[in-house]
Amino acid sequence: MTLVDLLKNVGRQSIESVGGDNIESGDGPSDDEFRESEQIGNGHRPDHPRGGKLGGISDQNGKREIMREEDEKRWNDECLFDCDQILEDFAPRNRIPFGFMWCLYRFVLSRIRHNRSVPEALYPTHEPQSGRSAERAIFTRHVLFTRMASVKNPPIEISASVLGTMLSSAAAEMSQCPTETGTNLSRHSESMASGLETRIHCEMTKSDQRTASLRALRLCLAMAFLLASGHGVCQTIYTPAPENLKARQEFQDAKFGMFIHWGVYSVLGDGEWVFHERKLTLDEYNRLPSFFDPEKFDAKAWIALAKAAGMKYITITSRHHDGFAMFDSKVSDWNIVQRTPYKRDPLKMLAEECHRQGIKLFFYYSQLDWHNPDYYPRGITNWDNGRLNRGDWNRYLDDYMDGQLRELLTNYGEVGGIWFDGMWDKPDADWHLEKTYALIHKLQPAALIIPNHHQSPKPGEDVQTFERDLPGQNSAGFNTSYVSAQLPLESSDTINDSWGFNIGDSKYKSPSELVSRLVRSAGNNANLLLNIGPMPNGEIQEEFVARLRSVGQWLSKYGESIYGTRGGPLPPGDWGVTTRKENKIYVHVLNWAAPLLALPPVQTRITRAVFLSNGSSIEFTQSANGLILKVPPSTGDEPDRIILLTCREAN
């Protein structure tokens, strides 16, 4: 059962237990309620440790709209700290100020209004950089929210078992992160679920209590109404089609894909951001397509190279931030067929070749556009390139972008999915995601939506992707630390340091480094999407070709330990990772010099351990304390020593 289901149940129970007649509307508090709540809220707001009162929660306009979208970031930024502070101050005494819970309720409700599912509403959008504090914030919200729901004084009772299950489901979600916080939450939820005498009492005066009881009753009813009737929530609950779920499995099995950044920018040999980096004007950039004539482009050779590398899918830029469509688009003439001497549609040729050679095809699509004037108001990458300072945002999204997506999902046969990028340019904008995602899933239900927005997944998204990073590590600094336990995961990376062709970048990763990244991705339950930036003449530079072929050779020997596996059962470490499939565990020793490797316990009985490269037996000891393997000495030139463990049962 998901948290959403549980909350729905809570909603239903509440309605049944008190009758539905007090429900005013699902639109939140009345003006009176709002004023009262402000008083209660203010009265109980603790001092902000950096001065002033707890911030980010009052509605300056006095409007009933609970929280404006632009306030949300401020709320996140300011209140994450406060949440922690409040928990630390009050939780040990088991008291949370009602004003704070009320504010939290408003926060959650406003996020539901902004079309987020309930669990999504509990997660911060703008997470702090450090993984620990992000997790703490999520944890805090889970706990506070469930506490709010369990306020004793208002005559709404949540049964012990429902609250217990809610907490354990929250704990289960959290315990997917192998961190201290995850463990803390599990422990916390256990004690709460078992005892449940632990009730939250609001510290209020008698009269406050009466008002608050009334309020909480109304609030809970409004919440219950919202949840039970599905108002504002229903459309956000996305149920993937069976073919989509199947495609997710296949995606996870595929493990290795080819990312391709190719566009008119490739002509300048300076990466795909050259338009922005050199602050070119529209007039200047408009000259570029006339130099793009990839006479050596050979779709068959590209796909054959992906296959030789052991890659199972490709994700190619159908258009990047320059907005230039690398396909035959009727939506505007800013495209390869109409603006370049090449005049042909390479995506069409690639699609045909992919279908012929059994490779899945995904389209990268930039929602950010530096060329179209309707991309307005502009985002953080704005510069004066000569565009008009007005434009029609809705037209950009609904006609231009959705129009092109419709073309991509209609004219190219079966498409694996759409890899979105650029939302980070306008993080607070309304991107009409629900509409766009619904369009994609309607046109091709199996197509996976993979957004590179660096946030927790939103309803309608099918894969969580991490740019230049392993899930949850956020070593790049801009990814989210939240890792979905449900969605397939993907990590993208470059062979040198560039995405688009960069003539001055010779920082190539070695073949072993690339193998090791692939293995670490698999061990972290993620795919690796490895990038190439083909040259403007359509050729792929030799440095990329050689490296891809050598990864392919490695995979042709050791592919069984990668393809079709899932990460684990043991947590990844600096020493290496594990992957699993049926009753097999592959121990990938990537960085371990000593002869013995001691690992945490494996749940099932290991019957056999062999060195995958030559089938020789490996000595091992399995006990309740853990597993000790005698690792064959390194020959120095292998990126990964793989030990295959056969187990009595599947892991």
C-alpha angle 51-54-59 in degrees, rounded to nearest 5: 125
Of 353 and 421, the one with the shorter C-beta distance to ligand JFZ is 421
Nearer to ligand JFZ, 420 or 620 (CB): 420
Among 467, 469, 490, 493, binds ligand JFZ (CB under 6 A): 467
Angle between helices 31-44 and 98-113 (to 10 degrees): 130
What residues from 609 to 638 belong to the interface with ligand JFZ (CB under 6 A)? none
Residue type, 610: V
Taking the complex as a whole, how short is the minimal distance between the CB of residue 533 and ligand JFZ, in angstroms? 10
298: which residues sit within 8 A by CB, 6+ positions away? 538
Q: Say if residues 125 and 73 touch (Cβ distance below 8 Å).
A: yes
- Residues 465, 491: contact at Cβ < 8 Å? yes
Phi/psi zone of residue 261: left (φ > 0), alpha (ψ -120 to 50 degrees), beta? beta
Give min distance, CB of 494 to ligand JFZ, in A: 8
> Least Å distance between CB 127 and ligand JFZ?
13
Binding residue count for ligand JFZ, defined by CB under 6 A:
9
H helix intervals, 391-443:
393-394, 402-410, 433-443
Does 424 bind ligand JFZ (CB under 6 A)? Our answer is yes
Q: Please, which residue, 273 or 592, has the CB nearer to ligand JFZ? A: 273
The site map against ligand JFZ for 544-563 (x = CB under 6 A) is --------------------
The distance of closest approach from Cβ of residue 331 to ligand JFZ in the complex, given in angstroms and rounded to an integer, is 21
Residues in region 486-545 near ligand JFZ by CB under 6 A? 492, 499
Candidates 478, 507, 557, 626; binder of ligand JFZ (CB under 6 A) is 478
Of 252, 452, 481, 502, the residue at the interface with ligand JFZ (CB under 6 A) is 452
Q: How far is the CB of 535 from ligand JFZ (least distance, A)?
A: 17
Q: Which is nearer to ligand JFZ, 418 or 577 (CB)?
A: 418
Residue closer to ligand JFZ, measured from CB, 491 or 622: 491
- Residue closer to ligand JFZ (CB basis): 102 or 501: 501
User: Residues 62-91 vs ligand JFZ: string with x where CB under 6 A?
Assistant: ------------------------------
For 142, 359, 388, 533, the CA distances from 311, given in Å and listed in that order, are 40, 8, 43, 16
CB 125 within 8 A of CB 76: yes
Q: Are 328 and 336 in contact (CB under 8 A)?
A: yes
**Least distance (Å) between residue 365 CB and ligand JFZ:** 11
Which is nearer to ligand JFZ, 274 or 337 (by Cβ)? 274
The correct pick among 421, 461, 493, 640 for binding ligand JFZ (CB under 6 A) is 421
Among residues 412 and 499, whose Cβ is nearest to ligand JFZ?
499
Nearest Cα neighbor of 286 from 309, 300, 267, 305 is 267
The per-residue DSSP string of 12-60 comes to HHHHHHH-STT---TT---HHHHHHHHHHHHHHPPBPTTSSBS-S-S-T
Which tokens go with 218?
């109304």
User: By Cβ distance, which residue is nearest to ligand JFZ?
Assistant: 478
Query: Residue 591, Cα to own-chain centre: how many angstroms?
Result: 28
The interface with ligand JFZ within residues 259-318 (CB under 6 A) comprises 272-273
Please tell me whether residue 100 binds ligand JFZ under the rule CB under 6 A.
Answer: no
CB 531 within 8 A of CB 260: yes
Burial class (CB in 10 A: 0-12, 13-18, 19+), 382: middle
Least separation in angstroms between residue 518's CB and ligand JFZ is 18
Place of tokens 């000569």: 386
Least separation in angstroms between CB 322 and ligand JFZ: 10
Residue 512 CB, nearest approach to ligand JFZ (Å): 24
CB of 462 to ligand JFZ, least distance (A): 18
Closest distance to ligand JFZ from the beta carbon of 473 (Å)? 15
383 binds ligand JFZ (CB under 6 A): no
> Closer CB to ligand JFZ, residue 229 or residue 372?
372
- Kindly tell me which of 115 and 367 has the beta carbon lying closer to ligand JFZ: 367
Between CA 193 and CA 295 the distance in angstroms is 67
* Minimum distance, C-beta of residue 302 to ligand JFZ, in the bound complex (Å): 18
- Specify whether the CB–CB gap between 526 and 577 falls below 8 A: no
Q: Minimum distance from CB of 260 to ligand JFZ (Å)?
A: 11
DSSP codes of every residue in 68-135: -HHHHHHHHHHHHHHHHHHHHHHGGGT---HHHHHHHHHHHHHHHHTT--HHHHHS-SS--SSHHHHH
Bridge partners of 209, per DSSP, are none
CA torsion 485→489→491→492, rounded to 10°? -140
- Write the Ramachandran bin of 627: left for phi over 0, alpha for psi from -120 to 50, otherwise beta: beta
Site string for ligand JFZ, 186-205 (x = CB under 6 A): --------------------
Interacting residues with ligand JFZ (CB under 6 A): 272-273, 421, 424, 452, 467, 478, 492, 499
